[in-house]
Amino acid sequence: MRKFGKAGKAAAIAAIAALALTACGRSDSGSSGSSSGAAGFAQNSEIGVALPQKTSENWVLAEGLFNDGLKGAGFTADVQFANGGVSEQQNQISAMVTKGAKVIIVGAIDGSQLGTQLAQAKQAGATVIAYDRLLLNTPNVDYYVAYDNFKVGVLQGQALLDGMKAKKATGPYNVELFAGSPDDANAKVFFNGAMSVLQPKIDDGTLNVVSGQKSFDQAVTQGWKAENAQKRMDTLLASSYNAKTLDGVLSPNDTLARAIITSVKSAGKPIPVVTGQDSEVESVKSIMAGEQYSTINKDTRNLVNKAIDMVKKLQAGQTPDVNDDKSYNNGTKVVPAFLLPPVIVTKANAKDAYANDPTLSKLTQ
C-alpha cells in the first residue's frame, strides 16, 4: 500500500506474495477518481470529523488539531469520538449527514461497518475522506489521507533486525510477533510490511519464532488494548522462554510496546529489542532510557493539516492533491490517496527527529 519505482515494486510484491497483501486492500492496478468537490461550497459550512476510540495519544491530539484548524479556516467543526464503539460512530456519521456536513472525515473504528452511513453521506452530496484508516468495501469514499502504513511496517521490521544485531552481531535470534486489532484496516498492513522484511529471515533461519505463532491471526491484539498484549506476552514467556532468551519483539505501536516490556520486566527477564509506533510521550522517554528500542514518527499535526488542506480545496471547487491513485483498493474501488512519509526513531536520531516538536524535543535533551 505505497508507491514504488518499477524495480522496487516488483521486489516488494515478490517478497510479500505469500502473505496475501491483496486481501488486505492493496492493488497495483485499476483506476480511480472522485466525483466530489467540483462545485465547491460556502466557507462557513459544517465539516464533520468522526474519530475512533481514544486508544492512543495521536487520536486525542487530532481532536484538538481538527477543532482549531477547521475553525481557523472559517469552517464549522463537528469533531466526535466514538468511545462507545462502532454503533456510536455509525450514529455520529448519520447525525453529521443530517446536519448538512459538506465533508465528512472518518477515522474508522472498523472501516468495513460504515457502508450504510457513507451511502447516506454521498446521497446528501457530502465528500468523504478516509483519515489514517482506509474505509473498506464501499464506493462511497472519495479520498484517503494517511501515512504510508506499509512503509511503517517495513521500518518496524528493519528496526527489529537492526536493534538485535546491535546487541548480538549474529543470529539466530529468538523473536515474537504482535499485530494490532483485526477490525482496524491498518493492522494487517503494518504486519505485512514488517513481514516483507522478516519473513525471508524466518525462512533462512536467522529468526526463530519460538512460539510458532507467525500469522497475523495468531499475532492480533483485539482493540489495540495494552492489557491484551501484556496477557499474551505473559503466556508466551511462560510457555516458550523458560530456558530460552527472547531477543526481539515486533510491536505495532507504542502502547503495546510498553505493555510487552512490562510483561518482560514482571517475568524478571532481560528486555528484548521492542519496536513501536506513534511517538507517544512515555515511549519516547522509554527509548531515551534505553528500554523500548524504536518508534515511528507520524506527526499528527502534518496529517491533520493535509486533511484540512483537502477540505479547503474542496470548498474552493478544486481537486485535492493525491500522490497515489492506484494502490489503495478498498475491495470496491481504488481510492485516491495522499501518503505522508513515516520516520523511524531510535535513541540515536531522536533529537533530530523531534527537533520541531515542542513536546517531544524536550525529552531528547
- Spans of the chain below 70 pLDDT: 1-38
**Count of all residues that appear for the chain in the document:** 365
pLDDT in tens, 122-132: 999 999 999 99
156-179 tens-digit pLDDT:
999 999 999 999 999 999 999 999
Map grid coordinates 497495483 to a residue. Answer: 28
Please check whether residue 330 is in contact with residue 137, taking contact to mean a CB–CB distance below 8 angstroms. Answer: yes
- What's the grid cell of residue 98? 443530517
Bridge partners, residue 295, by sequence: 345
Q: How confident is the model at residue 67, as a pLDDT?
A: 98
Distance CA 201, CA 12 (A): 15
Q: Where do the domains of the chain lie, and which CATH numbers do they carry?
A: 6-147+299-340 (3.40.50.2300), 149-298+347-352 (3.40.50.2300)
pLDDT in tens, 4-49: 333 443 343 333 333 333 333 333 333 334 444 457 999 999 999 9
**pTM given for the model:** 0.82
Predicted local confidence at residue 38, as pLDDT: 52
Give the E-state strand segments of the chain in sequence order.
Answer: 46-51, 76-81, 103-106, 127-131, 143-147, 173-177, 207-209, 248-250, 273-274, 294-297, 337-340, 343-346
| Nearest-angstrom CA–CA distance, 150 and 265 | 30
pLDDT at 266: 98
Q: How far apart are alpha carbons 295 and 364 in whole angstroms?
A: 14
* Percentage of residues of the chain with pLDDT beyond 70: 90
